Amino acid sequence: MRRFVLPLACVLACAGLLPTLSRGATTSPAGTPPPEIYHVVTSAACARLHERVRPAVAMILQNDQTIAKSPPLFKRYARGTLASDVANANGAPAAGDSMYNQTPETSMALQQMSYLVTPIARNIIAAETLLTDGKLLEPTGNATDDATLAQVKQQLMETIAYQSASLDLINGFVQTMQLGEIQHAGEEYLAAIQGTDSSTKPIQQEPNQWQDPNTPGLPPNPYALDVTQIPGLAVGYNPLSHIMDGLQWLRVETQKREDVAGKTISAVRTQCGK
Protein backbone atom coordinates (compact mmCIF):
# COMPACT_ATOMS: atom_id res chain seq x y z
CA MET A 1 0.00 0.00 0.00
CA ARG A 2 2.88 2.40 0.71
CA ARG A 3 4.07 2.32 -2.87
CA PHE A 4 0.64 3.56 -4.07
CA VAL A 5 0.34 6.35 -1.51
CA LEU A 6 3.72 7.88 -2.30
CA PRO A 7 3.05 8.64 -6.00
CA LEU A 8 -0.35 10.18 -5.13
CA ALA A 9 1.28 12.45 -2.55
CA CYS A 10 3.80 13.56 -5.14
CA VAL A 11 1.01 14.42 -7.58
CA LEU A 12 -0.90 16.43 -5.00
CA ALA A 13 2.24 18.22 -3.87
CA CYS A 14 3.03 19.16 -7.46
CA ALA A 15 -0.50 20.48 -7.86
CA GLY A 16 -0.05 22.66 -4.79
CA LEU A 17 -2.67 20.83 -2.77
CA LEU A 18 -0.38 19.71 0.10
CA PRO A 19 1.33 22.05 2.55
CA THR A 20 5.09 22.22 2.56
CA LEU A 21 6.53 19.52 4.83
CA SER A 22 8.94 20.60 7.54
CA ARG A 23 11.64 18.58 9.23
CA GLY A 24 12.54 20.14 12.55
CA ALA A 25 13.74 23.72 12.02
CA THR A 26 14.80 23.07 8.43
CA THR A 27 12.51 24.23 5.62
CA SER A 28 12.83 22.72 2.17
CA PRO A 29 13.60 25.20 -0.60
CA ALA A 30 10.55 26.49 -2.45
CA GLY A 31 9.95 24.89 -5.84
CA THR A 32 8.49 26.38 -8.97
CA PRO A 33 5.11 27.95 -8.10
CA PRO A 34 2.13 26.39 -9.81
CA PRO A 35 0.65 28.26 -12.75
CA GLU A 36 -2.12 30.71 -12.00
CA ILE A 37 -5.52 29.94 -13.40
CA TYR A 38 -7.56 32.87 -14.73
CA HIS A 39 -11.30 32.73 -15.07
CA VAL A 40 -12.49 34.99 -17.88
CA VAL A 41 -16.11 36.04 -17.55
CA THR A 42 -17.75 37.75 -20.52
CA SER A 43 -21.26 38.82 -21.39
CA ALA A 44 -23.27 37.68 -24.39
CA ALA A 45 -23.02 41.17 -25.86
CA CYS A 46 -19.22 41.13 -25.65
CA ALA A 47 -19.06 37.67 -27.20
CA ARG A 48 -21.17 38.77 -30.16
CA LEU A 49 -19.09 41.89 -30.62
CA HIS A 50 -16.04 39.66 -30.86
CA GLU A 51 -17.55 36.98 -33.09
CA ARG A 52 -19.71 39.00 -35.49
CA VAL A 53 -19.33 42.74 -35.15
CA ARG A 54 -15.55 42.90 -35.12
CA PRO A 55 -15.03 40.99 -38.42
CA ALA A 56 -17.83 43.02 -40.04
CA VAL A 57 -16.14 46.27 -38.97
CA ALA A 58 -12.80 45.00 -40.30
CA MET A 59 -14.35 44.40 -43.74
CA ILE A 60 -16.04 47.81 -43.71
CA LEU A 61 -12.72 49.51 -42.97
CA GLN A 62 -11.04 47.48 -45.68
CA ASN A 63 -13.69 48.70 -48.12
CA ASP A 64 -12.87 52.28 -47.13
CA GLN A 65 -9.29 51.73 -48.27
CA THR A 66 -10.39 50.12 -51.53
CA ILE A 67 -12.97 52.80 -52.34
CA ALA A 68 -10.35 55.47 -51.61
CA LYS A 69 -8.36 54.17 -54.59
CA SER A 70 -11.13 55.10 -57.02
CA PRO A 71 -10.92 58.95 -57.05
CA PRO A 72 -7.32 58.97 -58.40
CA LEU A 73 -8.41 56.51 -61.09
CA PHE A 74 -11.35 58.70 -62.07
CA LYS A 75 -8.95 61.65 -62.33
CA ARG A 76 -6.61 59.58 -64.47
CA TYR A 77 -9.51 58.63 -66.70
CA ALA A 78 -10.56 62.26 -67.00
CA ARG A 79 -6.99 63.24 -67.90
CA GLY A 80 -6.95 60.55 -70.56
CA THR A 81 -10.13 61.89 -72.19
CA LEU A 82 -8.38 65.23 -72.72
CA ALA A 83 -5.76 63.64 -74.96
CA SER A 84 -7.47 65.11 -78.02
CA ASP A 85 -4.48 64.43 -80.24
CA VAL A 86 -4.96 60.66 -79.78
CA ALA A 87 -7.62 58.97 -81.88
CA ASN A 88 -10.23 56.76 -80.30
CA ALA A 89 -9.95 53.01 -80.57
CA ASN A 90 -12.68 53.04 -83.23
CA GLY A 91 -10.67 55.43 -85.43
CA ALA A 92 -12.70 58.54 -84.66
CA PRO A 93 -10.86 61.64 -83.49
CA ALA A 94 -11.13 62.38 -79.78
CA ALA A 95 -13.94 64.77 -78.93
CA GLY A 96 -12.27 67.13 -76.49
CA ASP A 97 -13.50 66.59 -72.95
CA SER A 98 -15.98 63.81 -73.79
CA MET A 99 -16.01 61.09 -71.14
CA TYR A 100 -16.43 58.54 -73.94
CA ASN A 101 -13.02 59.13 -75.48
CA GLN A 102 -10.92 55.99 -75.58
CA THR A 103 -7.19 56.35 -75.11
CA PRO A 104 -4.52 54.08 -73.61
CA GLU A 105 -4.75 56.05 -70.36
CA THR A 106 -8.54 55.73 -70.11
CA SER A 107 -8.35 52.01 -70.86
CA MET A 108 -5.74 51.47 -68.15
CA ALA A 109 -7.70 53.51 -65.58
CA LEU A 110 -10.89 51.64 -66.43
CA GLN A 111 -9.16 48.28 -66.03
CA GLN A 112 -7.79 49.25 -62.63
CA MET A 113 -11.25 50.44 -61.53
CA SER A 114 -12.64 47.03 -62.43
CA TYR A 115 -10.18 45.42 -60.02
CA LEU A 116 -11.82 47.32 -57.13
CA VAL A 117 -15.32 45.98 -57.73
CA THR A 118 -15.02 42.35 -56.63
CA PRO A 119 -13.21 42.94 -53.28
CA ILE A 120 -15.72 45.62 -52.28
CA ALA A 121 -18.70 43.47 -53.25
CA ARG A 122 -17.38 40.43 -51.39
CA ASN A 123 -16.79 42.41 -48.21
CA ILE A 124 -20.27 43.95 -48.38
CA ILE A 125 -21.90 40.53 -48.78
CA ALA A 126 -19.81 38.99 -45.99
CA ALA A 127 -20.42 41.89 -43.58
CA GLU A 128 -24.17 41.88 -44.22
CA THR A 129 -24.22 38.11 -43.71
CA LEU A 130 -22.71 38.53 -40.24
CA LEU A 131 -24.98 41.41 -39.27
CA THR A 132 -28.24 39.91 -40.56
CA ASP A 133 -27.64 36.56 -38.87
CA GLY A 134 -30.41 36.06 -36.32
CA LYS A 135 -27.88 34.97 -33.69
CA LEU A 136 -26.61 38.54 -33.40
CA LEU A 137 -29.88 39.79 -31.91
CA GLU A 138 -30.94 36.75 -29.93
CA PRO A 139 -32.03 37.79 -26.39
CA THR A 140 -29.06 38.06 -24.06
CA GLY A 141 -31.06 38.30 -20.85
CA ASN A 142 -30.10 41.96 -20.52
CA ALA A 143 -32.46 44.48 -22.10
CA THR A 144 -29.75 47.15 -22.28
CA ASP A 145 -27.37 44.83 -24.14
CA ASP A 146 -30.15 43.79 -26.51
CA ALA A 147 -30.87 47.42 -27.36
CA THR A 148 -27.18 48.19 -27.83
CA LEU A 149 -26.64 45.27 -30.19
CA ALA A 150 -29.67 46.33 -32.25
CA GLN A 151 -28.28 49.87 -32.40
CA VAL A 152 -24.86 48.62 -33.53
CA LYS A 153 -26.48 46.54 -36.27
CA GLN A 154 -28.53 49.50 -37.51
CA GLN A 155 -25.55 51.85 -37.60
CA LEU A 156 -23.32 49.37 -39.42
CA MET A 157 -26.04 48.49 -41.94
CA GLU A 158 -26.42 52.19 -42.73
CA THR A 159 -22.67 52.41 -43.25
CA ILE A 160 -22.75 49.42 -45.58
CA ALA A 161 -25.61 50.99 -47.54
CA TYR A 162 -23.44 54.00 -48.37
CA GLN A 163 -20.52 51.78 -49.30
CA SER A 164 -22.86 49.82 -51.54
CA ALA A 165 -23.86 53.06 -53.29
CA SER A 166 -20.15 53.83 -53.85
CA LEU A 167 -19.82 50.37 -55.36
CA ASP A 168 -22.77 51.11 -57.65
CA LEU A 169 -21.05 54.24 -58.94
CA ILE A 170 -17.72 52.54 -59.58
CA ASN A 171 -19.14 49.35 -61.03
CA GLY A 172 -21.79 51.14 -63.07
CA PHE A 173 -19.23 53.45 -64.64
CA VAL A 174 -16.89 50.56 -65.44
CA GLN A 175 -19.60 48.43 -67.01
CA THR A 176 -21.02 51.32 -69.00
CA MET A 177 -17.65 52.24 -70.46
CA GLN A 178 -16.66 48.65 -71.14
CA LEU A 179 -19.98 47.98 -72.84
CA GLY A 180 -19.43 51.03 -75.03
CA GLU A 181 -16.01 49.72 -76.03
CA ILE A 182 -17.52 46.36 -76.99
CA GLN A 183 -20.39 47.93 -78.94
CA HIS A 184 -18.08 50.03 -81.09
CA ALA A 185 -15.16 47.65 -81.39
CA GLY A 186 -14.14 47.10 -85.02
CA GLU A 187 -15.95 50.12 -86.48
CA GLU A 188 -12.68 51.22 -88.07
CA TYR A 189 -12.87 48.09 -90.23
CA LEU A 190 -16.47 48.72 -91.28
CA ALA A 191 -15.42 51.89 -93.05
CA ALA A 192 -12.90 49.99 -95.13
CA ILE A 193 -15.32 47.16 -95.94
CA GLN A 194 -18.39 49.26 -96.73
CA GLY A 195 -16.55 52.19 -98.22
CA THR A 196 -18.21 54.61 -95.86
CA ASP A 197 -16.65 56.78 -93.21
CA SER A 198 -18.84 55.46 -90.43
CA SER A 199 -15.99 55.72 -87.96
CA THR A 200 -16.29 59.50 -87.84
CA LYS A 201 -19.94 59.41 -86.83
CA PRO A 202 -20.59 60.46 -83.24
CA ILE A 203 -20.94 57.59 -80.83
CA GLN A 204 -24.47 57.23 -79.54
CA GLN A 205 -24.37 55.63 -76.12
CA GLU A 206 -27.49 54.12 -74.66
CA PRO A 207 -28.08 55.00 -70.99
CA ASN A 208 -27.13 52.13 -68.74
CA GLN A 209 -29.76 51.03 -66.23
CA TRP A 210 -28.26 50.80 -62.77
CA GLN A 211 -28.90 47.45 -61.20
CA ASP A 212 -29.10 46.47 -57.56
CA PRO A 213 -26.00 44.62 -56.33
CA ASN A 214 -26.20 40.85 -56.47
CA THR A 215 -26.52 39.69 -52.88
CA PRO A 216 -27.81 36.11 -53.00
CA GLY A 217 -29.43 34.83 -49.84
CA LEU A 218 -29.49 38.22 -48.12
CA PRO A 219 -32.54 40.33 -47.32
CA PRO A 220 -32.64 43.81 -48.90
CA ASN A 221 -30.77 46.40 -46.90
CA PRO A 222 -33.48 48.73 -45.54
CA TYR A 223 -31.02 51.63 -45.67
CA ALA A 224 -30.08 51.14 -49.35
CA LEU A 225 -29.68 54.37 -51.33
CA ASP A 226 -31.10 55.32 -54.70
CA VAL A 227 -28.00 56.54 -56.50
CA THR A 228 -30.10 58.89 -58.61
CA GLN A 229 -30.81 60.87 -55.43
CA ILE A 230 -27.15 61.56 -54.64
CA PRO A 231 -26.67 65.35 -54.63
CA GLY A 232 -25.33 66.61 -57.96
CA LEU A 233 -25.65 63.24 -59.65
CA ALA A 234 -28.11 62.09 -62.28
CA VAL A 235 -27.59 58.69 -63.85
CA GLY A 236 -27.12 58.86 -67.59
CA TYR A 237 -24.99 61.34 -69.52
CA ASN A 238 -23.67 63.29 -66.57
CA PRO A 239 -20.15 64.68 -66.96
CA LEU A 240 -17.46 62.65 -65.31
CA SER A 241 -16.83 65.36 -62.73
CA HIS A 242 -20.37 64.92 -61.37
CA ILE A 243 -19.77 61.22 -60.78
CA MET A 244 -16.57 62.07 -58.92
CA ASP A 245 -18.46 64.63 -56.80
CA GLY A 246 -21.13 62.05 -55.98
CA LEU A 247 -18.53 59.52 -54.96
CA GLN A 248 -16.82 62.03 -52.69
CA TRP A 249 -20.15 62.89 -51.06
CA LEU A 250 -20.75 59.20 -50.39
CA ARG A 251 -17.32 58.80 -48.79
CA VAL A 252 -17.98 61.72 -46.44
CA GLU A 253 -21.41 60.38 -45.46
CA THR A 254 -19.97 56.89 -44.96
CA GLN A 255 -17.33 58.29 -42.60
CA LYS A 256 -19.99 60.09 -40.56
CA ARG A 257 -21.86 56.86 -39.99
CA GLU A 258 -18.71 54.96 -39.19
CA ASP A 259 -17.88 57.54 -36.51
CA VAL A 260 -21.30 57.12 -34.89
CA ALA A 261 -21.05 53.33 -34.96
CA GLY A 262 -17.50 53.49 -33.62
CA LYS A 263 -18.60 55.45 -30.56
CA THR A 264 -21.37 52.97 -29.80
CA ILE A 265 -19.06 49.97 -30.16
CA SER A 266 -16.33 51.63 -28.06
CA ALA A 267 -18.81 52.26 -25.26
CA VAL A 268 -19.66 48.55 -25.16
CA ARG A 269 -16.04 47.44 -25.35
CA THR A 270 -15.15 49.39 -22.20
CA GLN A 271 -17.38 46.96 -20.31
CA CYS A 272 -15.80 43.89 -21.91
CA GLY A 273 -12.24 44.33 -20.70
CA LYS A 274 -9.32 43.34 -22.89
pLDDT by residue (tens digit) across 10-29?
444 444 444 444 444 555 45
- Note whether residue 1 is domain-resident: no
- Note whether residue 2 is domain-resident: no
pLDDT by residue (tens digit) across 192-220?
566 555 455 555 555 444 444 454 567 88
- Note whether residue 28 is domain-resident: no
- Note whether residue 247 is domain-resident: yes
SS (H, E, C) the chain: CHHHHHHHHHHHHHCCCCCCCEECCEECCCCCCCCCCCCCCCCHHHHHHHHHHHHHHHHHHHHHHHHCCHHHHHHHHHHHHCCCCCCCCCCCCCCCCCCCCCCHHHHHHHHHHHHHHHHHHHHHHHHHHHHHCHHHHCCCCCHHHHHHHHHHHHHHHHHHHHHHHHHHHHHHHHHHHHHHHHHCCCHHHHHHHHCCCHHHCCCCCCCCCCCCCCCCCCCCCCCCCCHHHCCCCCCCCCCHHHHHHHHHHHHHHHHHHHHHHHHHHHHHHCCCCC
Quote the pLDDT of residue 52. 92
Q: How far apart are CA 111 and CA 10, in angstroms?
A: 71
What is the domain extent for residue 182? Answer: 44-200+207-269
- Note whether residue 7 is domain-resident: no
pTM of the full structure: 0.66
Give 117's pLDDT tier (boundaries 50, 70, 90).
Answer: very high
pLDDT by residue (tens digit) across 42-59?
688 888 999 999 999 999
- Note whether residue 71 is domain-resident: yes
Q: How far apart are CA 125 and CA 59, in angstroms?
A: 10
More confident residue, 78 or 202: 78
Structurally, the chain folds into a number of domains equal to 1
Quote the pLDDT of residue 44. 85
Quote the pLDDT of residue 101. 74
- Note whether residue 31 is domain-resident: no
Quote the pLDDT of residue 211. 43
Average pLDDT, the chain: 75
- Note whether residue 37 is domain-resident: no
Quote the pLDDT of residue 240. 79
Quote the pLDDT of residue 262. 93
Give 121's pLDDT tier (boundaries 50, 70, 90).
Answer: very high
Candidates 250, 251, 212; CA nearest to 231 is 250
- The whole-number average pLDDT for the span 224-247 is 73
